[in-house]
């Protein structure tokens, strides 16, 4: 009787799933029709009583989401309605349980606390600087999220939970502290994975570049974005906890990589770098057969490529700016274009790094080669060649999918894959090897650690200097135009405020500082955050001259020979009453 009732409940449950699936599938199929998407968008605009930004982009997004919904429903039905699907789910659940039982979570508490302390101390001066960085300015003034514009849906919805409201307000340093926690967990996991499940203090300290490389410092300075940038690294490392179980590793990779793509795509190179170093370690020490290594590599490669395909087809919104694009290189130029992007990446890294850092990095890579040859179970020459190839391939992978784009990002905060690259090799070198190699690694990481303090202090100095210059400028403008709100005034700026003396001093040995510290109040057409900083952040009544479609001013005030109304040590102001040209002096 009980068995009959149980079967009856299963039948009812299956019927409900089938009915729900049919309804959702019909809705998704309907959305595939342009007329339906148009009707949906028009309805949303009527409800909101305003026109939506990026209207066409949202139409395209609805089409992609509908396609993704169809694929998800079909896969969900397979897992719940078929015997083979349910068996697969049970197998994955069992593998997850086995993998988690292998981990002694109590032993991870002290390493986690150590890395929290290291990262928290590292960003102390950044928190103290309280610097509103680029995108922060708009969110501070308007409370907007708009991460969806870059297809970062995890960031978009997580921010609502973290801030407790759909309208963002400045709750720093909480997001940065959350980023520190995520980075600490990520460091511990990276050491656990790369260090063959053995965690020591030295290995943990070797992982410092993951969160305190100059490039990720450029992420931690963001008051709103920092935790989602850190999450992208964590999501890229997490699947390797299940590396011993093929099915679970595959599915966890797909889910985690999707989270990475929807939080911050600059971490797209972290997952393949870890795969590469693990495969090299197993091959070099002959711990596994070639078949087992190729099987792991194939699963990881398929999971990565499948995830990138899913993201691009179903989730990614096309986005084109004058500094970056989501468009992939055309097939006819894929080789030459990729090589050009890699060449530019090498040039940027070479420019950014100071001589001391370069020496430290060369030493770390040298010890990697020596250790690989010394501990190799392969032929020494072959091990040397493969080791060099691993270094080169890892460096290229550290740039992630950007190397395949027509217009990739080269902003400092987008290059933190290089920091993870250093972390992986540092951890590998200090794992059961000579003390001289450990000294070289810790010396490099000490230099990175101290730079973090210099960076935070440089931000504070630059902010004070810029606000001093802006105060003088606004004071002069208010005397010339005491009732700017009622006047029809347009402003253009020439030149930009130079770096503070302390920043210039740091740049002598660490050129990357000039890309990490923004120069504000420059030519306003070059960066929209300058507009927010000048006009809205300080709540003045002056308006900025609008740009045309080409990104230039309709009328360049430099060509008008406007009369000089004020000439001071810091700036010259030319004006005819309605048009103002401000020429900043260094």
Neighbouring residues of 426: CB distance < 8 A, sequence distance ≥ 6 = 206, 207, 208, 209, 364, 441, 444, 445
- To which H or E segment does residue 395 belong? helix 380-397
pLDDT of residue 92: 82
For the stretch 151-189, pLDDT in tens is 888 888 898 899 888 888 889 899 999 999 999 999 999
List, in order, residues 6 or more apart from 585 with CB less than 8 Å away. Answer: 495, 569, 570, 571, 572
| Cα 505 from Cα 512, distance rounded (Å) | 12
Strand-pairing partners, residue 566, are 573
Give the number of other Cβ atoms within 10 Å of residue 202's Cβ: 16
Rounded to 10 deg, the angle between the 83-101 and 246-261 helix axes is: 90
The predicted-structure confidence for 306-350, as pLDDT tens digits, reads as follows: 999 988 888 887 665 656 677 888 888 889 999 999 999 999 999
DSSP 3-state of 357 = helix
**3-state secondary structure string, 31-95?**
HCCHHHHHHHHHHHHHHHCCCCCCHHHHHHHHHHHHHHHHHHHHHHHHHHHCHHHHHHHHHHHHH
Q: For the residues of 232-275, what is the DSSP string, one character each?
A: HHHHHHGGGGGTTSHHHHHHHHHHHHHHHHTT-GGGGGHHHHHH
Q: Which structure tokens are listed for 296? A: 């792991």
**Terminal C-alpha separation, the chain:** 89
CA 191 – CA 204 distance, rounded (Å): 6
Q: How many CA atoms lie within 13 A of 272 on its CB side?
A: 25
**Beta carbons within 10 angstroms of residue 420's beta carbon:** 29
Burial of 323 per CB tally in 10 Å (0-12, 13-18, 19+):
exposed
Dist. CA 476–CA 582, nearest whole Å: 11
pLDDT for 527: 61
Q: In b/e form, how buried is each residue of 528-540, taking b as 16+ CB within 10 angstroms?
A: ebbbbbbbebeeb
Residue (of 302, 322, 123, 307) closest to 223 by Cα position: 123
Q: Phi, psi (5° rounding) for residue 566? A: -160, 135
Residue 110 confidence (pLDDT):
94
DSSP letter (8 states) at residue 484: G
Which parts of the chain sit beneath pLDDT 70? 1-10, 48, 52-58, 60, 318-324, 484-487, 522-529, 541-553
Q: How many angstroms separate the CA atoms of 270 and 421, rounded?
A: 8
Other C-beta atoms closer than 10 Å to the C-beta of 568 total 11
DSSP assignment, residue 218? H
Provide the b/e sequence for 543-564 (b: ≥16 CB within 10 Å).
Answer: ebbeeeeeeebeeebeeeebee
Res 111: pLDDT? 95
Contact call for residues 342 and 399 (beta carbons, < 8 A) = yes
pTM: 0.89
Nearest Cα neighbor of 26 from 75, 73, 62 is 73
491, burial (CB in 10 Å: exposed 0-12, middle 13-18, buried 19+): buried
pLDDT at 6: 47
Cβ 254 vs Cβ 303: under 8 Å? yes
- Token readout for 224 is 């709103």
Residue owning tokens 């009453």: 577
């Amino acid at each position: 009787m009980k068995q009959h009732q149980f079967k009856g409940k299963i039948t009812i449950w299956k019927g409900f799933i089938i009915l729900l699936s049919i309804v959702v599938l019909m809705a998704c199929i309907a959305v595939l029709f342009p007329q339906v998407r148009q009707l949906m968008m028009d309805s949303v605009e009527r409800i909101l009583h305003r026109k939506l930004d990026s209207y066409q982009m949202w139409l395209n997004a609805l089409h992609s989401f509908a396609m993704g919904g169809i694929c998800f429903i079909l896969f969900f039905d397979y897992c719940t309605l078929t015997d083979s699907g349910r068996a697969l789910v049970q197998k994955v659940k069992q593998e997850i349980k086995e993998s988690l039982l292998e981990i002694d979570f109590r032993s991870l508490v002290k390493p986690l606390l150590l890395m929290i302390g290291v990262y928290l101390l590292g960003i102390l001066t950044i928190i103290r600087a309280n610097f509103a960085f680029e995108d922060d300015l708009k969110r501070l003034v308007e409370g907007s999220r708009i991460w969806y514009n870059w297809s970062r849906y995890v960031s978009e919805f997580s921010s609502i939970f973290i801030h407790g409201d759909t309208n963002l307000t400045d709750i720093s340093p909480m997001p940065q502290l959350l980023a520190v926690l995520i980075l600490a967990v990520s460091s511990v996991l990276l050491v656990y994975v790369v260090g063959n499940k053995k965690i020591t203090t030295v290995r943990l300290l070797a992982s410092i570049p993951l969160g305190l490389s100059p490039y990720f410092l450029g992420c931690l300075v963001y008051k709103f974005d920092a935790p989602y940038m850190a999450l992208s690294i964590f999501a890229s490392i997490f699947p390797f906890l299940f590396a011993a179980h093929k099915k679970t590793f595959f599915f966890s990779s797909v889910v985690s990589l999707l989270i990475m793509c929807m939080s911050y795509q600059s971490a797209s190179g972290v997952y393949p770098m870890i795969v590469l170093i693990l495969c090299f370690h197993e091959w070099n020490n002959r711990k596994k057969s070639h078949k087992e290594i190729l099987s792991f590599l194939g699963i990881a490669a398929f999971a990565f490529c499948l995830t990138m395909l899913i993201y691009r087809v179903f989730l990614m919104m096309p986005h084109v700016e004058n500094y970056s694009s989501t468009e992939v290189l055309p097939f006819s130029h894929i080789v030459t274009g990729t090589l050009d992007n890699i060449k530019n990446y090498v040039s940027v890294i070479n420019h950014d790094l100071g001589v001391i850092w370069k020496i430290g990095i060369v030493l770390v890579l040298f010890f990697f080669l020596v250790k690989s040859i010394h501990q190799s179970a392969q032929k020494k020459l072959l091990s040397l060649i493969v080791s060099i190839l691993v270094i080169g391939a890892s460096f290229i992978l550290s740039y992630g999918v950007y190397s395949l784009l027509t217009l990739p990002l080269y902003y400092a905060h987008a290059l933190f894959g290089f920091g993870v690259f250093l972390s992986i090799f540092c951890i590998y070198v200090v794992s059961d090897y000579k003390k001289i190699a450990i000294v070289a690694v810790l010396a490099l990481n000490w230099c990175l650690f101290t730079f973090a303090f210099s960076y935070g202090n440089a931000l504070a100095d630059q902010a004070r200097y810029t606000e001093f210059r802006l105060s003088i400028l606004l004071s002069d403008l208010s005397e010339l135009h005491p009732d700017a709100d009622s006047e029809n005034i347009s402003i253009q700026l020439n030149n930009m405020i130079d770096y503070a003396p302390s920043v210039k001093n740091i740049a002598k040995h660490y050129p990357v500082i000039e890309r990490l510290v923004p120069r504000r109040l420059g030519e306003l057409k070059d960066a929209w955050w300058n507009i927010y900083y000048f006009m809205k952040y300080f709540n003045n009544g002056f308006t900025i001259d609008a740009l045309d479609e080409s990104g230039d001013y309709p009328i360049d005030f430099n060509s008008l020979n406007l009369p000089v109304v004020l000439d001071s040590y810091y700036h010259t102001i030319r004006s005819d009453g309605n048009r103002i040209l401000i020429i900043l002096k260094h």
